[in-house]
Amino acid sequence: MSAAANNPVSEEAQEDRIYLKSADEVAVMRRAGHLLGRIIREVLENVDEGVTTIELDKLAYRRIREAGAIPGFLGLYNFPNTLCISVNEQVVHGIPDKRRLKSGDIVSIDCGLILDGFFADHAWTVGVGKLDPEAERLLQVGEEALFRGIDAARYAGRVGDIGRAIEEHVTRAGFSVVEEYTGHGIGRRCHEDPKVYNTGTRRGKRMGQGLTLAIEPMVNIGSGRTKELADGWTVVTADGSLSAHFEHTVAIGQEGTEILTSAEDH
Ligand code: MG
Ligand code: MG
């Protein structure tokens, strides 16, 4: 989810408001991220034929509350739910409802939560039952694109390196990157500066110690163009082709870049 569309100030002005986190703050974000990683993993394990997307949403809400955290998307810009669930040609910001998942669907689960005042943001896309080979390949390329982006997110590098790496990988695979939505800085607010573009046309600021970013490529089989549905939220591919979305929250450090939203123990 990007605040880009809501923000009227110029790109340069926005980049003056980057918040680098202390080691203690990163430690809080690590706990938030790890909690979210485990919750998303459980939700993904429950993605199955016949399951409704609202059931998945309720599971995530329950798990977040049980852990003493706060659902980060619920009410954010008035979003109505805990999860954004985007199926097939839906790119991002899909609203959970009574839709029953069926074999061949691909399902993106995107979630933010707040723990001790800090956000974590994480998304993953999986298939239901038997997928077309092209859909399988989309999931693979989308996941690889995320890790190319994370690999390019290095101390003293440029934020623009991330989009360059993502775009290069996706284009080489014959798919398209969605340009209208971006990753973002993250911390006490879900969407902080800088924007993290998924294409490589900008250099961007240097990445410093304690910069925390949500890196989140959205990859389409067809054109990268999108449109928004009348519900004011759901973003779909303009040509109806399948779309996949993968996101991790990471922390940049001199010693390396850490994935904060891992489900695995640190
Ligand atoms: Mg995000
Ligand atoms: Mg997200």
pLDDT of 231-259, one tens digit each? 999 999 999 999 999 999 999 999 999 99
CA 1–ligand 1 middle distance (angstroms): 5
Q: Does domain 3-259 have CATH number 3.90.230.10?
A: yes
Query: Is-contact 263 109, C-beta < 8 A?
Result: no
Strands (E), 19-101: 70-71, 83-87, 90-92
pLDDT tens track for 112-125:
999 999 999 999 99
| 253 backbone dihedrals φ, ψ, rounded to 5° | -145, 160
Q: Are 42 and 107 in contact (CB under 8 A)?
A: no
Centre of ligand 1 to C-alpha 90, Å, is 16
Helix H or strand E encompassing 125: strand 118-127
CA of 184 to the centre of ligand 1 (A): 6
Angle made by CA atoms 93, 148, 143, in degrees to the nearest 5? 45
* Cα 163 to chain centroid, rounded: 14
How many whole angstroms from 60 Cα to the centroid of ligand 1?
Answer: 17
Report pLDDT digits (tens) over 138-172.
999 999 999 999 999 999 999 999 999 999 999 99
pLDDT band for 8, please (50, 70, 90 cuts): very low
Q: What is the pLDDT of residue 16?
A: 63
Report how far apart, in Å, the C-alpha atoms of 203 and of each of 141, 145, 167, 194 are.
Answer: 24, 18, 14, 12
Task: Report the separation in Å between the CA atom of 221 and the middle of ligand 1, taken as the mean of its atom positions.
Answer: 21
Ligand closest to Cα of 184 equals 1
Which residue in the block uniquely carries the two structure tokens 């046309």? 201
Indicate which ligand has the atom closest to the C-alpha of 246: 2
Strand partners, 121: 112
pLDDT digits (tens, 9 = 90+) for 57-69: 999 999 999 999 9
Ligand 1 is an ion; residues with CB less than 5 A from it: 121, 214
Centre of ligand 2 to C-alpha 9, Å, is 22
Contact between 237 and 89 under an 8 Å Cβ cutoff? The reply is yes
Sign of the CA dihedral 45, 182, 149, 145?
positive
| Gap between the Cα atoms of 153 and 207, Å rounded | 8
Match 């591919």 to its residue by tokens. Answer: 237
For residues 211-232, average pLDDT: 98
Note the ligand closest to the C-alpha atom of 3.
1
- How far does the centroid of ligand 1 lie from the alpha carbon of residue 183, in Å? 5
Q: How far is the CA of 23 from the centre of ligand 2 (A)?
A: 23
How far is ligand 1, taken at its centre, from the CA of residue 105, in Å?
22
Query: In sequence order, which residues have a C-beta less than 8 Å from that of residue 10 and are 6 or more positions away?
Result: none
Is 4 a residue whose pLDDT tops 50? no
Task: Please give the mean pLDDT across all residues of the chain.
Answer: 94
Residue ranges covered by each domain of the chain: 3-259
Cis peptide before 8 (omega within 30 of 0): no
Q: How confident is the model at residue 264 (pLDDT cuts 50, 70, 90)?
A: confident
Is the pLDDT at 1 greater than 80, yes or no?
Answer: no
Asked whether residue 13 carries a pLDDT value surpassing 70, the answer given is: no
Expressed in angstroms and rounded, the spacing between residue 123 Cα and the centre of ligand 1 is 8
pLDDT at 201 (0 to 100)? 83
Lowest mean pLDDT among 8-22, 92-106, 138-152: 8-22
Distance 261 CA to ligand 2 centre (A): 11
Instruction: Give the chain's end-to-end CA distance (angstroms, integer).
Output: 27
Quote the ligand 1 centre to 189 CA distance (angstroms).
11
